């Protein structure tokens, strides 16, 4: 908990510098893989500063806009709500009935996220909830998609978090997990190790003034179960069609499972 | 967390509960029940008498728990069948699949199980059409065998089969060009070619083709050509009940039949010419 409290304010800056901005691409890929349709209810756990939530909103808005345009082209009748929204073109298009709930155990991270949302102009379809991934404050069968991006590593009991994910998802719902994982390619692995242990804590000290947090970060990545093991854990929680996709040789992996 | 003694065949408890609920209300939409996979027994009729549910249990030893088991493939099949209803509105896209999943009571995120370009839906539809065609031809063959119907001449048979198959496209004709373009994506070509060739093969089989020589290839190539061109003509045909398309088909089949008879004529003429030359050579040498 303390690690992220101290890290909260500089979180985004550190992410950019550590991954040289690539984390944005990873998160984009995650939302693309999700391919959410309008009306989707997303729960983003450990979503702190809202990266996934904002991308989700952008994606859904653009899909909705395309749908509306298609309806106009076919001269289909729009509902009054849609006509009203189309007159209201601000910077961002309307989200419709899609919603994202950002849940994080850390108040500081949520605070930073809310400020970011305000600054970037995201107002609709967002909620911020304080909660523990191992014991979510939500009812059963509520969400269409559950995502946890770079958060499951920090959960003490991963199996509990997976079980909670299973519980709050609707039947047919999807579990998506974006996390650092195991690199099997030996050359990449050596370079990656070098970078992780030599460069990252230094960056942590220079930018955030915190060597030990980032040392912890790198070590926790190494201790995290590799792809196949995590896949087995997800299956144990009851998910079906569990699969993973390696990004960047396995530096990062996206695991996906369905509650069927 | 359930024990996993049978790794490949696991029950889908959530969907089982949903289906039990939907069976009680007899919610199966009419279009999907007519396209149900022909393996499963007629489902919606006796939900009260069979509390175990309509689907056959696939787990060998799994008799202890409820018999409402369904494999992932079956569920995917059901979702795709339900999604076909939404194609005229949304096209052959992941959106249609999402709407299909929603209509079954599942979350829209279930569409993530399929590829995002909608190709799974199209291929599912194609294989359903091919199955229906085979059943139709099988039935007609039985009638001929029982002597209740006359055996059609080859050109009429081919016309009838291709027309029947193309008529299955009519409900989706507006969005079918989109489907064709998706099928041409390199990723999808193996599967779509596979389905196409198996369909053509089926038609020839029921037409009585038993050739084991090069004819086998020419026949299939010719029929594939006829089928594809007729399909394309159908895409932009606006005549009532597609009359123009069927006339086009008739002409192409007539062409093909004429071509084959011409080919055999050429062959026999060729043989005759050779024999004449041989005779002349013998005469000259004497």
pLDDT at position A175: 95
Q: What is the interface size between A and B, counted as CB pairs within 8 Å? A: 74
Q: Are residues B143 and B253 in the same domain?
A: yes
Distance from CA of A153 to the nearest CA of B (A): 22
Burial class (CB in 10 A: 0-12, 13-18, 19+), B72: middle
pLDDT at position A85: 64
- Nearest residue on chain A to B2, judged by CA atoms? A238
Mean pLDDT of the B223-234 span: 92
Cβ neighbours of B240 (radius 10 Å): 7
Query: What are the start-end ranges of the E strands in B149-246?
Result: none
Q: Are residues B245 and B103 in the same domain?
A: no
Residue B91 inside a domain? The answer is yes
> What is the complex's ipTM, to 2 decimals?
0.81
How far is CA B265 from each of CA A224, B210, B257, B277, rounded to the nearest angstrom?
76, 21, 12, 18
pLDDT at position A212: 83
User: Which residues of chain B lie closer than 8 angstroms to A235, CB-CB?
Assistant: 4
3-state SS class at B113: helix
Contacts of B270 (CB under 8 A, 6+ apart): none
For chain B, positions 73-92, list CB contacts with chain A under 8 A.
75
Q: Are residues B83 and B209 in the same domain?
A: no
Residue B183 inside a domain? The answer is yes
Mean pLDDT of the B246-266 span: 87
User: Which residues of chain A lie closer than 8 angstroms to B95, CB-CB?
Assistant: 37, 67
Q: Are residues B130 and B239 in the same domain?
A: yes
Mean pLDDT of the B242-248 span: 92
Residue B94 is nearest to which of A35, A169, A235, comparing CB atoms?
A: A35
| Contact yes or no for B110 and A238 at CB 8 A | no
User: For residue B31, what pLDDT band results from cuts at 50, 70 and 90?
Assistant: very low
What does the block give as tokens for A20?
């040289």
CB burial of A14-33 (b: ≥16 within 10 Å; e: otherwise) equals bbebbbeeebeebbeebbee
Q: In what order do the strands lie in the sheet with A252-258?
A: A126-130, A99-104, A41-45, A143-149, A169-180, A252-258, A240-247
Mean pLDDT of the B86-96 span: 90
Residue B241 inside a domain? The answer is yes
Residue A174 is nearest to which of B4, B14, B112, comparing CB atoms?
A: B112
Q: Are residues B108 and B139 in the same domain?
A: no
Chain A CB within 8 Å of residue B110 CB: yes
Q: Are residues B124 and B265 in the same domain?
A: yes
Question: Measured between alpha carbons, how far is A108 from A48 in angstroms, rounded to an integer?
Answer: 8
Residue B250 inside a domain? The answer is yes
Chain B CB within 8 Å of residue A34 CB: yes
pLDDT at position B5: 44
Q: Are residues B123 and B109 in the same domain?
A: no
Residue range(s) defining the domain that contains residue B190 = 119-269
Contacts of A138 (CB under 8 A, 6+ apart): A43, A101, A131, A168
pLDDT at B84 over 50: yes
Residue B88 inside a domain? The answer is yes
Distance from CA of B150 to the nearest CA of A (A): 48
pLDDT at B3 over 60: no
User: Which residues of chain B lie closer than 8 angstroms to A144, CB-CB?
Assistant: 107-109
Q: What is the CATH number of the domain that holds B210?
A: 1.10.357
Residue B61 inside a domain? The answer is no
β-bridge mates for residue A103, sequence order: A45, A129
How far is CA B207 from each of CA B158, B211, B213, rounded to the nearest angstrom?
7, 12, 17
Nearest to A46 by CA among A201, A153, A139, A202: A153
pLDDT at B29 over 80: no
Cβ neighbours of A90 (radius 10 Å): 8
Residue B109 is nearest to which of A172, A238, A240, comparing CB atoms?
A: A172
Residue A144 is nearest to which of B4, B105, B109, comparing CB atoms?
A: B109
Residue B131 inside a domain? The answer is yes
pLDDT at position B27: 38
Distance from CA of A38 to the nearest CA of B (A): 9
pLDDT at position B122: 94
Residue B6 inside a domain? The answer is no
Residue listed under structure tokens 């003694």: B5
3-state SS class at B157: helix
Q: How many domains does chain B have?
A: 2
Q: Are residues B123 and B251 in the same domain?
A: yes
Q: Are residues B190 and B89 in the same domain?
A: no
Q: The whole model's pTM is what? A: 0.77
3-state SS class at A253: strand
3-state SS class at B18: helix
Q: Are residues B211 and B257 in the same domain?
A: yes
**pLDDT above 70 as % of chain B:** 76
- When scoring A30, A160, A171 by the number of chain B Cβ atoms within 10 A, the one with the most, hence best to mutate, is A171
pLDDT at position A153: 86
Q: Domains (ranges, CATH) in chain A?
A: 1-181+224-259 (3.40.50.150)
Distance from CA of B45 to the nearest CA of A (A): 25
User: Which residues of chain A lie closer than 8 angstroms to B75, CB-CB?
Assistant: 260
For chain A, positions 45-84, list CB contacts with chain B under 8 A.
67
Cα radius of gyration rounded to whole Å, chain A: 19
For the ranges A103-112, A121-130, B33-42, B101-110, the lowest mean pLDDT is seen at B33-42
Q: Out of B97, B114, B131, pick the residue that ends a domain.
A: B114
Mean pLDDT of the B201-207 span: 90
- Taking only the tens place, the pLDDT of each residue in B130-162 is 999 999 999 999 998 888 888 888 888 999 999
Q: Are residues B183 and B98 in the same domain?
A: no
Q: Out of B114, B146, B172, pick the residue that ends a domain.
A: B114
pLDDT at position A53: 93
| Contact yes or no for A171 and B116 at CB 8 A | no
- pLDDT means per 10 residues, chain A with 260 residues, are 64 81 92 90 88 92 84 70 63 69 90 90 88 92 92 89 94 93 90 89 81 84 90 93 91 92
Spatial contact of B104 and B18, defined as CB atoms under 8 Å apart: yes
Q: Are residues B124 and B158 in the same domain?
A: yes
């Amino acid at each position: 908990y303390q690690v992220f409290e101290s890290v909260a304010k500089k979180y985004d800056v550190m992410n950019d510098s550590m991954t040289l901005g690539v984390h944005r691409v990873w998160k984009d890929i995650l939302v693309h893989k999700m391919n959410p349709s309008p009306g989707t209810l997303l729960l983003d756990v450990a979503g702190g500063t809202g990266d996934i939530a904002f991308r989700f909103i952008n994606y859904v808005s653009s899909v909705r806009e395309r749908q509306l345009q298609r309806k106009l082209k076919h001269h289909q009748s729009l509902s009054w709500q849609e006509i009203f929204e189309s007159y209201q073109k601000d910077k961002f298009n309307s989200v419709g009935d899609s919603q994202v709930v950002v849940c994080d155990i850390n108040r500081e991270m949520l605070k930073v996220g809310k400020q970011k949302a305000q600054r970037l102009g995201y107002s609709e379809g967002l909620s911020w909830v304080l909660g523990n991934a191992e014991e979510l404050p939500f009812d059963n069968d509520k969400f269409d998609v559950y995502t946890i991006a770079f958060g499951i590593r920090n959960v003490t009991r991963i199996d509990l978090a997976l079980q909670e994910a299973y519980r709050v998802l609707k039947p047919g719902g999807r579990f998506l997990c974006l996390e650092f994982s195991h690199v099997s390619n030996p050359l990449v692995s050596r370079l990656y190790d070098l970078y992780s242990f030599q460069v990252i804590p230094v960056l942590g000290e220079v930018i955030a003034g915190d060597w030990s947090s980032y040392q912890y970060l790198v070590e926790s990545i190494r201790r995290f179960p590799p792809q196949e093991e995590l896949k087995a854990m997800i299956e144990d929680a009851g998910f079906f069609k569990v699969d993973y996709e390696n990004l960047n040789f396995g530096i990062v992996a996206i695991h996906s499972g369905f509650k069927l | 967390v359930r024990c996993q003694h049978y790794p490949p065949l696991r029950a889908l408890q959530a969907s089982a509960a949903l289906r039990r609920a939907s069976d009680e209300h007899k919610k199966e939409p009419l279009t999907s029940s007519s396209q149900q996979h022909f393996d499963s027994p007629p489902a919606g009729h006796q939900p009260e008498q069979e509390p175990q549910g309509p689907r056959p249990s696939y787990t060998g030893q799994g008799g202890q728990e409820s018999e409402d088991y369904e494999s992932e493939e079956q569920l995917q099949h059901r979702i795709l069948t339900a999604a076909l209803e939404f194609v005229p509105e949304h096209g052959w896209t992941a959106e249609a699949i999402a709407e299909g999943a929603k209509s079954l009571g599942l979350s829209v995120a279930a569409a993530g199980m399929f590829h995002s370009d909608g190709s799974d839906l199209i291929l599912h539809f194609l294989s359903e059409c091919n199955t229906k065609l085979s059943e139709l031809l099988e039935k007609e063959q039985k009638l001929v065998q029982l002597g209740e119907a006359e055996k059609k001449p080859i050109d009429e048979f081919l016309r009838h089969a291709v027309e029947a198959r193309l008529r299955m496209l009519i409900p989706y004709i507006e969005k079918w060009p989109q489907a064709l373009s998706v099928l041409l994506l390199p990723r999808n070509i193996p599967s779509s070619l596979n389905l196409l060739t198996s369909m053509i093969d089926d038609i020839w089989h029921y037409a009585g083709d038993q050739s084991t020589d090069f004819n086998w290839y020419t026949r299939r190539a010719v029929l594939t050509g006829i089928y594809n061109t007729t399909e394309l003509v159908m895409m932009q045909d606006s005549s009532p009940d597609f009359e123009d398309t069927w006339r086009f088909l008739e002409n192409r089949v007539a062409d093909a039949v004429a071509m084959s008879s011409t080919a055999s004529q050429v062959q026999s003429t060729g043989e005759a010419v050779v024999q004449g030359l041989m005779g002349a050579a013998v005469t000259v040498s004497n």
